[in-house]
Amino acid sequence: MAYNFAEIEPRWQKRWAEEKPYKVKRDSSKKKFYCLEMLPYPSGRIHMGHVRNYSIGDVVSRFLSMKGYNVLHPMGWDAMGMPAENAAIKSGRHPREHTYDHMKMMRAQLQNLGFSYDWDREIASCDPEYYRWNQWMFLKMMEKGLVYRHRRSVNWCPSCRTVLANEQAEGGTCWRCDSDVELKELEQWFVRITDYAEELLNDLDELPLWPENVKAMQRHWIGRSEGSFVEFRLPAVDEGLEVFTTRIDTIFGATFVCLAPNHPLVKKIREVSPEREAIDAFVIKMNRMSREERLASTEKLGQFTGIYAVNPFTKEEIPVYLANFVLMEYGTGAVMSVPAHDQRDFEFAKKYKLPILPVIVPEPGFHYDNELTEAVEATGVLVNSGEFSGLTSDEAKQKMNETAESGGFGRGAVTYKLKDWGISRQRYWGTPIPVIYCDNCGIVPVPEADLPVKLPDDVVFTGEGGSPILTSESFLHTACPKCGGNARRETDTMDTFMDSCWYYYRYLSPRLDTAPFDTEEAAYWTPVDLYIGGVEHATMHLIYTRFFTKLLRDFGLLKIDEPVKKLVTQGMVIKDGRKMSKSLGNVVDPDDMIQKYGADAVRVFMLFASPPEKEIEWKDQGAEGALRFLNRVWNFAENNGEIVKTETEFDTATLAGKEKKLFQKLHQTIAKVGDDIEKRLHLNTAIASLMELFNLLSATEIKEGVLKAVAGAVYRDLVRMLMPFAPHMASELGELYGFDASRWPELKQEFAVADTFTLVVQVNGKIKDKIEAEQGISADEAFRLAAESERVSAELAGRNIVKKIYVPNRLLNLVVK
RNA sequence: GCGAGAGUGGCGGAACUGGUAGACGCGCCAGAUUUAGGAUCUGGUAUGCUUCGCGUGUGGGGGUUCGAGUCCCCCCUCUCGCACCA
């Protein structure tokens, strides 16, 4: 009977669901392996990216289980977030119903692919028993002073009355209603991730098995910068203006100061400024510019404010400008401008005819003869810098920091681009922030015993009037836990990145109701040995999750510093050279493919087409090829049932000829496939070598006894090695032909090397002949063989051999003159 | 602009430590089977030439080496990330 995946696959899936062979328990007698894949958002359908991601993880999990590891391989749902809420606004259906329906559909799809998850550990972040621990952690952080409330400006749609993420406010208009987006100051909850910035940066060096590009992205994201804060007095408004600079050594060359157009002091300055109208016009112009416009142009735009700042080192007054290139988001939103030594300041000074004063020279005694044509940004030696003249930049930085500090107008400091994490969302479908506002007691945390603070059900989803939670009377009004008086609940919910920060610890004890997870389980299972997911999470999720691990460690729940030993970021699945998307109409649905080719063939093709980190182009023909291969393997057993079934002992020591060659190929393959999976995760070459082994087996004419026994053994081991890739077929073959396909074949190292090799003979580096030779021959023997070759001896005739280079078991190069 | 990575047949890719370039698969060509198509099986498939052989070939140019896809320098192209970061 032909290989009927449509019948075989569902049968095994059902059996796995019933018998739970992938259920695992802590067992300290076994070596553990925690294989984790990024959990999906329940969008309703699995897509090809998931198939690829989870197929990679499944191969590693199954392989290591077969090798006797205790493998934890869980799956769950990142179930909160905006899409469900937006769907609720459209359909009126509660996000919960919507989400649980989606989870059900997607769980079925994952099961259709035959993934070896321990489904008993499944979690969903929208379950109150899950998100109560988000709340618990929030309270813990609150206790430790790691959260605070702060006003920050956010994108605000006045018609939807909600906060928009940057990508929802592109072009300055709301993605849903097209209203102009405003910047609005809102009180929000922030988490002090910057307290851990230094550790998050330094510990990247402790992650040798993370891809370099991800670490580079995180370093850049954290953006450590050593410099100084310096205060310039603004006599006109009687205020101090703090600037951040990495080049305090150039401060004697500061000829003006620039503020971001939205700097808070601008309001005060315009009150006293003769340039008030010009300032207002400039600020409005800048606010109107969209993000794209700002990014597209590097033209320097500025406006004199009419007031002056006092340089604390020179005591001189220099003009204060507004400038488009100064960003409120970085540093203090104000810079001292040194046009001689900063290219941006140089361009600005040229445009607005401001003085350019060099204060750094490359070496002592150097003079700039001509006017500068560009800024000299290199460090060097100070000139025109009062008592600091003659010092090197490095010496000056230190001395000047000391001077500033003792003078009370500055200090050396380290800043980060990483900002504290704003976790407030004016949304319904997220974890309620467990805080109560009382008129008498102020901000009161919800007592731990009252957790979880559940999302209310008496809400209306209109899409207007802000968060739907505001429509819930039962939620809004509560009693103050401290004084019992009337109080109001926090209506903001948490960023969903909070949910995904620690979910893989919840898998360890998913139903525990006394703590987020069991610390003994954690001591056994953590860290995650392999984490597979998309590179799009390189910064956000993967920084937050590293941060949370450090937090939980400091709370005493974990003993590790880093959550993930090895990280793999898999490439996208594309079609016709482009990302799959609905708008391009090139989406390939995994269900269709499973129906057409079967889950095993889809998995094999996905893994065979490319190594994990590369992009992969979906091609139906590729899946056909994978199916063809599986078919041939299946048919071999059909045609050679007796050989496959009959396990005959044979003496490996007496193997010779074809049977030895075949047996050696088997063990070479066992070694290669194991290596490819375990060390390199190059599943494409692992599959290729399985194909090679099968090609050799099927090309071998099997007639007499020993060869039959060897061929049977080879076939059975081939099926075992196919198990991680094509588990349905391998399981079925094992059962049909009565052998245990669930153990990884044992490697006989002595057979993993062939006993002959192709000796490549080169003359002056050019290949002249290839000779079959015994493994382990000496250089002299190799030379003797080469000399016997007609082609080689013809090359050598009448010439002197200057040098012989012999690479054992590979090649002989003769250098002649 | 800065940072990371990549350029190998018609295509996806292989070559792991400097040692046979193109494994394995797709596609294509030819043959077998078939009424036909599909499926299957067998063989071929980098390229040039004076074709049982010889030469050339891993984005381009140079270098190190007995030997370079692999190491070094310069250049080109592409992908990803960040981007007026003070």
Residue A457 has phi, psi (to 5 degrees) of -100, -20
Helix or strand (DSSP H, E) at A579:
strand A578-579
What CATH number does domain A225-415 carry, 1.20.1250.20, 3.30.460.80, 2.40.30.10, 3.90.740.10?
3.90.740.10
Chain A 693-712 residues in 7 Å CB range of strand B: 695, 698-699
pLDDT in tens, A317-342: 999 999 999 998 889 999 999 999 99
Can you identify the CATH homologous superfamily of domain A20-125+497-570? HUPs (3.40.50.620)
Q: Pick from A599, A739, A595: which is nearest to A9 by CA?
A: A599
Whole-angstrom Cα distance, residue A565 to residue A548? 15
Q: How confident is the model at residue A169 (pLDDT cuts 50, 70, 90)?
A: low
Q: What is the CA radius of gyration of chain A?
A: 34
Q: Which of residues 369-388 of A touch strand B (CB under 7 A)?
A: none
| CB A781 under 7 Å to nucleic chain B | no
- Look at residue A664 and give its three-state secondary structure: helix
CA of A320 to C1' of B70 (A): 57
Structure tokens at A97: 């119903």
Question: What is the SS3 assignment for A494?
Answer: strand
Q: Specify the residue for token string 């990014």.
A: A295
Q: Are strands A435-438 and A486-489 parallel, antiparallel or unpaired?
A: antiparallel
Class assignment of domain A756-816?
Answer: alpha beta
Which amino acid is present at A435?
A: V
What is the rounded end-to-end Cα distance, in angstroms, of chain A? 66
pLDDT of residue A292: 61
Reduced to 3 states, what is the DSSP secondary structure of residue A497? helix
Residues 6+ apart with CB under 8 A from A761: A767, A768, A769, A770, A771, A786, A789, A792, A811, A812, A813, A814
**Rounded distance, CA A220 to CA A210, Å?**
16
Q: How far is the CA of A613 from the C1' of B62 (A)?
A: 33
pLDDT for A502-541, tens place per residue?
999 999 999 999 999 999 999 999 999 999 999 889 888 9
Contact A255, A339 (CB under 8 A): yes
A120-134, A193-207, A473-487, A574-588: the lowest-pLDDT one = A574-588
Of A residues 728-767, those with CB within 7 angstroms of nucleic strand B are 757-758, 760, 762, 764-767
3-state secondary structure of A751: helix
| Amino acid sitting at position A561 | D
Q: Tell which residue, A598, A625, A597, A595, has the closest CA to residue A609.
A: A625
pLDDT of residue A715: 96
Question: Which pair of structure tokens corresponds to residue A170?
Answer: 């592109």
| Bridge partner residues of A230 (DSSP) | A243, A410
Tokens of A270: 């315009």
Our measurement of CA A815 to C1' B63, in angstroms, reads 21
Phi, psi of A434 (to 5 degrees): -80, 70
Report the amino acid identity of residue A263.
Answer: H
> Which nucleotide is nearest, taking the CA of residue A622 and each C1'?
B26
Instruction: Name the token pair of A141.
Output: 């952080």
Q: How confident is the model at residue A575 (pLDDT cuts 50, 70, 90)?
A: confident
Q: Which residue has the higher pLDDT, A157 or A477?
A: A477
- The bridge status of strand A421-422 relative to strand A766-774 is unpaired
For every residue of A132-184, DSSP letters joined together read HHHHHHHHHHHHTT-EEEEEEEEEEETTTTEEE-GGGSGGGB-TTT-PBPEEE
CATH class of A621-751: mainly alpha
Angle at the Cα of A762 from the Cα atoms of A756 and A768, rounded to 5 degrees? 90
* pLDDT single digits (tens) A664-711: 999 999 999 999 999 999 999 999 999 999 999 999 888 777 888 999
- Residue A534: beta bridge partners? A570
Interatomic distance A195 CA / B26 C1' (Å)? 53
Using the structure, give the distance in angstroms from the CA atom of A676 to the C1' atom of B16, rounded to a whole number: 9
Q: Name, in order, each residue with C-beta under 8 angstroms of A594's C-beta and a sequence gap of 6 or more.
A: A9, A112, A113, A602
Who wins on pLDDT, A257 or A615? A257
Cross-strand partners of A335: A258
Residue A314 has which token pair? Answer: 């020179």
- Alpha carbons A685 and A677: distance in angstroms, whole number: 9
Q: Report the range out of A124-133, A421-430, A699-708 with the highest average pLDDT.
A: A124-133
What are A80's two structure tokens? 């909160």
Q: A744-756 in b/e burial notation, b at 16+ Cβ within 10 A? A: bbebeeebbeeee
For B25, nearest residue by CA–C1' is A625
Has residue A228 got a pLDDT over 70?
yes
CB A438 within 8 A of CB A444: yes
Q: Which two tokens stand for residue A214?
A: 């991800």
In whole angstroms, B51 C1' to A766 CA is 20
Instruction: Identify the pLDDT of residue A407.
Output: 96
Residue A276's Cβ-count burial label (10 Å; 0-12, 13-18, 19+) is middle
Judged by phi (left if over 0) then psi (alpha if -120 to 50, else beta), residue A354 lies in beta
Phi, psi of A389 (to 5 degrees): -55, 140
- What class, spelled out in words, does domain A137-192+420-494 have in CATH? mainly beta
What is the band of A164 on the pLDDT scale with cuts at 50, 70, 90? low
Helices A48-66 and A599-608 cross at an angle (nearest 10°) of 90
CB proximity A132–strand B (7 Å threshold): no
Dihedral pair phi/psi, residue A217, rounded to 5°: -65, -40
Mean pLDDT of all residues in A742-771? 89
Least confident segment among A277-281, A375-379, A473-477: A375-379
% of chain A residues with pLDDT over 70: 97
What ipTM did this prediction achieve? 0.95
The number of residues in chain A equals 817
pLDDT on residue A753: 85
**Cα torsion A50, A52, A57, A62: sign:** positive
Tell me if residue A404 falls in helix, strand or coil.
helix
Q: Which nucleotide is nearest to A687 (CA to C1')?
A: B24
- Reading the block at residue A491, the tokens are 């209506």
The domain ranges of chain A are: 20-125+497-570, 137-192+420-494, 225-415, 621-751, 756-816
Dihedral sign of CA atoms A460, A466, A469, A472 in order: negative
pLDDT band of residue A291 (cuts 50, 70, 90) is low
Strands A578-579 and A123-124, by their bridges, are unpaired
Task: Please tell me whether any atom of strand B lies within 7 Å of the Cβ of A300.
Answer: yes
Q: How confident is the model at residue A195 (pLDDT cuts 50, 70, 90)?
A: very high
The CA distances from residue A611 to A64, A615, A720, in Å, are 19, 8, 22
Q: Give the CA distances from residue A731 to residues A11, A631, A736, in Å, rounded to whole numbers and listed in that order.
A: 11, 15, 9
pLDDT band, very low/low/confident/very high, at A165 (cuts 50, 70, 90): low
Q: Which tokens go with A47?
A: 């897509």
Strand B close to A804 by CB, under 7 A: no
Residues 458-517 of A with CB under 7 A from strand B: none
Question: Which strand B nucleotides have any atom less than 7 A from protein CB atoms?
Answer: 3-5, 11-16, 19-21, 23-27, 39-43, 54-56, 66-68, 80-86
Mean pLDDT of chain A: 92
Evaluate whether A186 touches A163 at the Cβ level (below 8 Å).
yes
Q: CB < 7 Å to strand B — which of 234-253 in chain A? A: 244-247
Residue A91 has pLDDT above 90, yes or no: no
Tokens of A102: 């989606």
CB A332 within 8 A of CB A244: yes
